Chain A
Amino acid sequence: MKIAHLTPTIFSEKSVIGGGERYVYNLARALNTTAPAIRGEIHQEIFSIGPAREAFEWNSLPVRILKNHHPEGGVMQAASNDLWDALDGFDLVHIHQILTNFGAFVLSVAKTLGLPVVGTDLGAGENELLLEDKGLELCDGVLSISHYAKSLLCGQFSGSHEVLLGPVDTDFFSPDPTIFREPGSAICVSRILPHKGIDRLIRCLPEGIRLYVVGRPYHNDYLTLLKQLARGKDVVFVHKADDNDLLAYYRKSSIFLQASTHLDCYGNRVRKPELMGLTTLEAMACGLPVCLSDGGSLPELVEGTPFGKVFRSDDECAALIKEAFATKRSEDFPFRAHDHVRSHFSFPSVGEKILNFYQKILEQQEPADTP
């Protein structure tokens, strides 16, 4: 099986460091982890479109950047004539950020070439050609990263539609009992953007609690606002953290907070504040209890588990943080949380499900032409 992953942005300093970008790599790695035992070797390649042609490897995954022939529109509008030849020989195309102009372009090319396509919305774009004009129906399957994400597309897509949360690298993101957890420390891992609701956390932060805000700033005014709110409080901003740094922050913190919101601090309505919340799963994998807003898909991540709670308002947020710090947990809590994530959202668990979904899509295709 040869799979081409198409994404407008890649998890890189040159592009965007965000959950959506990490998701693509995780998905490919999950498939590579699972496929050999189930269906034999698979070939995967990650494609994006950038200012210049480039090819490199990331964790043994080949990544190819195609020349952007529409640089005026920004990355989410990128288009490349090179894509036609690049897709030659692939069995299936998985388009990430399907609802962008980039997604519409790639979908057009792939379907013109007669290739089966799976689409995934990772939060960017609401392209009307795909939604109102039914272009999304050209996909052979849609893989949604939460039930919430699926609910947003139900009316626009009538074909095979699967929900798969994760995957998370549970080998990497895991608790380490040898590392001392700072008792009064909380962590929020997120791009610094208004709809992530970090301002809510700072406003609700109780006295005596330290909050690590780990993430790259993508909105300067919002960062300024956060720093103003943080005056007199114990808030540490960490803008440059690689994966090892991030792991260390997860391991030394006591609780994880995520406050994504449908109504940001500027009064803007946000339609898709959080389609999955990958960092929440990473935190749980590291053994942290989580306090989550009811924004988007977040409640799904802890529903029916003892590993997290959900708040609906800032008052509830403040109360929940206090409660989280006051709660006594068993020593094995971190390992049970980790096991939960490993069972449901790990590379092997999710990889197998994705592989089965791809296989189902391929089996749906028309048989070879009869002469």
Chain B
Amino acid sequence: MKILVLSNLYPPFQLGGYETACKNTVEGLRQRGHSVHVLTSPSHYPGENDPPYVQRTLTLRNFHSAQINGHHGVLRRFESSLSNITNTVVFTELITKLRPDCIYFWNLIGIGGMGLLDAANRLEIPWVFHLMDDVPAAMRRGMGLPALSLFHAAHGEIYRQGRIIAMSQNLLNEIKRLSGITFTGHLEIIPGWVDTNRPVMTRSYQAGNITRFVNAGTMDNKKGVDLILNAAQRLTGNGLTKFQIDLYGPGNISHYIDHCKAVGLADHVRFHGPQPQQNLLSIYEKADAFLFPTWEREPFGFAPVEAASMGCLPVITATCGIAERLVHGVHCLKIERTTEGLLQAMTDIMTGRIDLANLGMCCQKITRQDLSFKTCLDQIEKILAGAAVPFRDRRIQLWKETALTLMKHNLAAQYFLQQSDQIP
């Protein structure tokens, strides 16, 4: 298959699992012999130069910290979510040159995603949209019905022509709750994954009678760092002090370090900042449990899967995305997302009420089966093959495509700016 992948970001510039998963999938598909071309935005993160199949010519209107206010800020929001003339034209031109069998959309926030979907529909190129976040809801947020109507997106009709992959039912529920959109066409759920060739291993737990908890992700309240620290404080208050918590990832680390000092947790909690994925796997191998009291709207979570692959038992919010795939007491511990819920699970682990060796084995096994990259890539490949059709020869007049893009963009921008609440 000849596949054109679109993603707002592409490593080395990445915010989390979405971008890593995109890159893994691209490389996996290429290894299977498919011709895959990536269209994305520039990366300013340290890293190797891109391979020739990665084209960074999209303009990104989000994810940079510089605050731009006033009309420019409002328009950036519009260009981020709804339509970006340059990006749509670049995309359209690339389609005519590359002649893909299928377009594979990833995160479209920041690059005018609605305009890109609209162009794919207009040119009748089959597409698959891989959702690892509430992108359809985010793209329409605050845009207003008139502007959305121009893209047939007032009620999500724009998605009828494509195939949707969502990483959890929880994510689909979230999108419906936030936007009212339900996908009525082809829809499949493919979970998060881990790519490991390593066989299931027998490993030791709680070496030196110390329980090692770990977490990797953004250091903020929604990911559950506050809950972890509160539970840790309660553990020490209950006289359970033989534990260590290692936290990996970016975020408001100084705030949390100060907090730990203030509440007497400095000897128990360490912040390490972001780590490469490969380093994290080694860390998980030596850790006993992965604390993941994330917010309930969490679409899935790659980190607990990766931890599970190394026998590091996931302790997860019972209603988040990954909870759909793991069985409590078999592959994980599911908790109510409260300090008490997390405290109970941590206490059970520390006091030996949980058979870590047994559960650790089970969670390793599932990551070699349902949650393995190979299994997921098989499914992705099948969906792409089901969607793909050879590029049909027809005369696409680029000037007309550009004129239509321009008119729709400008008309939508007018509608958007006419909404009184958009005027600063």
Using CB atoms and an 8 Å cutoff, list the residues of chain A in contact with chain B.
Answer: 69-70, 72-73, 79-81, 83-85, 101, 104-105, 107-109, 111-112, 114, 129-130, 133-135, 137-138, 366, 369-371
Contact = CB atoms under 8 A, between A and B. Distances in A.
19 contacts: A69-B154, A70-B145, A70-B149, A70-B415, A79-B146, A79-B149, A81-B149, A84-B152, A105-B149, A108-B150, A111-B400, A112-B118, A129-B411, A133-B403, A133-B407, A137-B403, A138-B400, A138-B403, A370-B393
Contacts of A101: 411, 414
Residue among A70, A85, A101, A109 with the highest chain B CB neighbour number at 10 A: A70
A129 B404 contact: no
A108 B407 contact: yes
A70 B407 contact: no
Interface string B391-408: 011110000100110111
Given A70-B145, A81-B154, A129 B407 contact: yes
Contact of B392 (A129, A137, A370): A370
B64 interface: no
A108 B406 CA distance: 10
Interface size class of B (residues with CB under 8 A): 20 to 34
A133 B145 CA distance: 24
Contacts of A112: 118, 121-122, 152, 404, 408
A73 B418 contact: yes
A69 B146 contact: yes
Contacts of A70: 145-146, 149, 415
A137 B122 CA distance: 18
Contacts of A104: 407, 411
Interface of B: 118, 121-122, 145-146, 148-150, 152, 154-155, 157, 392-395, 400, 403-404, 406-408, 410-411, 414-415, 418
Contact of B155 (A79, A81, A137): A81
B401 to A, nearest CB: 10
Contacts of A105: 149-150, 411
Contacts of B418: 72-73
A126 to B, nearest CB: 15
A327 to B, nearest CB: 52
> 9 shortest A-B CB distances, which residue pairs?
A81-B154, A70-B146, A81-B149, A135-B407, A69-B145, A84-B152, A79-B146, A369-B392, A108-B408
A369 B121 CA distance: 16
Nearest to A84: B152
A32 to B, nearest CB: 31
A138 B404 contact: yes
A79 B415 contact: yes
Nearest to A127: B411
Contacts of A114: 122
B285 to A, nearest CB: 53
Contacts of A73: 146, 418
A81 B403 contact: no
Contact of B406 (A79, A83, A135, A369): A135
Nearest to A73: B418
Residue among B150, B155, B410 with the highest chain A CB neighbour number at 10 A: B150
A370 B391 CA distance: 10
Given A69-B154, A73-B418, A80 B122 contact: no
Contact of B150 (A109, A369, A370, A371): A109
Given A108-B411, A112-B121, A366-B394, A81 B406 contact: no
Contacts of A80: 149
A135 B403 contact: yes
A129 B403 CA distance: 10
Contacts of B395: 366
Given A72-B418, A370-B394, A107 B407 contact: yes
Given A70-B149, A84-B157, 19 more contacts: A69-B145, A69-B149, A70-B146, A73-B418, A79-B146, A79-B149, A81-B145, A81-B155, A83-B149, A84-B152, A105-B149, A105-B150, A130-B407, A137-B403, A138-B400, A138-B407, A369-B392, A370-B394, A371-B392
A217 to B, nearest CB: 29
Contacts of A69: 145-146, 149, 154
